[in-house]
Structure 1
Amino acid sequence: MSGGEGGKWFRDNMEVKIGERDGFLFWHHCWAGNFKLSELFPRLFHLSNNKGGAISSMGTWFEGEWRWDLKWNRELRQRELDQVQQLTSSTCNVRLTAGSKDSWCWKASKNGVFSVQSAYYALGLESRSMEERRVENEMALIWKASAKAVITAWKVLRGRFPTFDNLRRRQVNFQSGNLCVLCNSCEESINHLFFSCHKTDAIWKDIISWLGKQTASQTQAKAHFNAFINLGNKDDVKLLLSVWICTIWCFWRKRNECIFKQGMWNRERIFSEIKSILWGWKMAFNLVTPYSEFRRWFSAEALIT
Structure 2
Amino acid sequence: MAGNFLLDVNKNVRAQSIWWRDILRIGGEESGGWFKSNVCNVLGSGNLIRFWQERWLGHESFMNLFPQLYAKSLQPDAPITAFGSWSDDNWTWSFDWVVELAQDDMDAATEMSILLADIRPKKECLDHRKWLMNHAGMFTVKSAYCFLQNRDSFLTINSNVVDALQDLWVNDVPSKVNIFGWRLLLARLPTHMALVRKGIINNPCEFCCVFCFREEEEIDHLFFNCSVSIQVWKKIYKWMAVDFIPFEEGWKHFMSFGDLVTSKRLAKTRHVIWLATTWSIWRTRNNIVFRGDVFNLDALIDQIIFISWFWFIGRLGVNTSFVFYDWCNNPLVCIDSI
CA distance in 2, matches of 1:197, 1:241: 21
Residue 289 of structure 1 deviates from its aligned partner by 5.3
* 1:101-146: CA deviation from partner (whole Å, max 9, x where unpaired): xxxxx956xxxxxxxxxxxxxx999x99xx989836632x22xxx1
Q: 1:212 to 1:254 in 2, by over 3 A?
A: same
- Tell me whether 1:270 sits opposite 2:305 in the alignment: no
Matched with 1:283 is 313
Structure of greater Rg: 2
Matched residue pairs, number?
Answer: 187
Distance 1:215 1:192 in 2: 17
Which runs of no fewer than 5 residues in structure 1 stay unpaired?
1-12, 14-25, 35-64, 66-105, 109-122
2:223 pairs, out of 191, 194, 199, with 194
Amino acid at match of 2:167: V
Structure 1 296/283 Cα, relative in aligned 2: closer, same or farther at 3 Å? closer
1:158 paired with 2:190, answer no
1:168 aligns with 2:200: no
Distance in 1 of aligned mates of 2:240 and 2:313: 19
Structure 2 counterpart of 1:138, which letter? V
2:285 alignment counterpart: 255
**Alpha-carbon shift at residue 282 of structure 1 (Å):** 2.2
Question: What amino acid is aligned across from residue 277 of structure 1 in structure 2?
Answer: I
Q: What is the Cα deviation at residue 284 of structure 1?
A: 2.5
Which one of 280, 297, 302 corresponds to residue 327 of structure 2? 297
Relative to structure 1, is the Cα distance of residues 256 and 205 closer, same or farther in structure 2, using a 3 angstrom cutoff?
same
Retained in 1: the 8 A contact 2:273–2:308? yes
- Alignment TM-score, normalising by the size of structure 1: 0.53
Matched, 1:223 2:252: yes
Q: Tell me the C-alpha RMSD between the 2 structures.
A: 3.6
Q: Give 3-state SS (helix, strand or coil) of 2:303's partner.
A: helix
Tell me the amino acid that sits aligned with residue 188 of structure 1.
E
Query: Is the alpha carbon distance of 1:252 and 1:290 closer, same or farther for their aligned partners in structure 2, counting shifts above 3 Å?
Result: same
Instruction: Give 3-state SS (helix, strand or coil) of 1:232's partner.
Output: coil
Moved >6 Å (runs of 4+):
131-134
Match of 1:241 in 2: 271
CA apart distance, 1:286: 4.0
Residue 53 of structure 1 is matched in structure 2 by none
Q: Secondary structure at the match of 1:263?
A: coil
Residue identity opposite 1:227 in structure 2: S
CA contact under 8 A between 1:152 and 1:248: conserved in structure 2? no
Partners of 2:302 and 2:257 lie apart in 1 by 19
Look up the match of 2:82: none
Query: In the alignment, is the contact (CA less than 8 A) between 2:238 and 2:244 conserved in 1?
Result: no
Q: What is the CA-CA distance between 1:204 and the residue it aligns to?
A: 1.0
C-alpha distance in 1 between matches for 2:214 and 2:254: 25
After alignment, is 163-172 or 278-287 more displaced? 278-287
How far apart are 1:178 and its partner, in Å?
0.5
Task: Give me the whole-angstrom Cα distance separating, in 2, the residues matched to 1:181 and 1:253.
Answer: 12
Confirm or deny: 8 A CA contact 1:155 1:161 kept in the other structure: yes
Identity %: 27
| TM-score when normalising by structure 2 | 0.48
Which of 185, 190, 209 matches 2:214?
185
What is the 5 A alignment of 1:1-305? 32-33=21-22, 107=141, 135=167, 138-139=170-171, 141-142=172-173, 146-173=174-201, 175=203, 176-233=205-262, 234-235=264-265, 237-288=267-318, 293-299=323-329, 301=330, 303-304=332-333
Is 1:296–1:303's contact at 8 Å kept on the other side of the alignment?
A: no
* Equivalent in the alignment of 1:48: none
Query: Residue 147 and residue 292 in structure 1: after superposition, are their counterparts in 2 closer, same or farther (change >3 A)?
Result: closer
Distance 1:281 1:165 in 2: 31
The amino acid across from 2:228 in the alignment is K
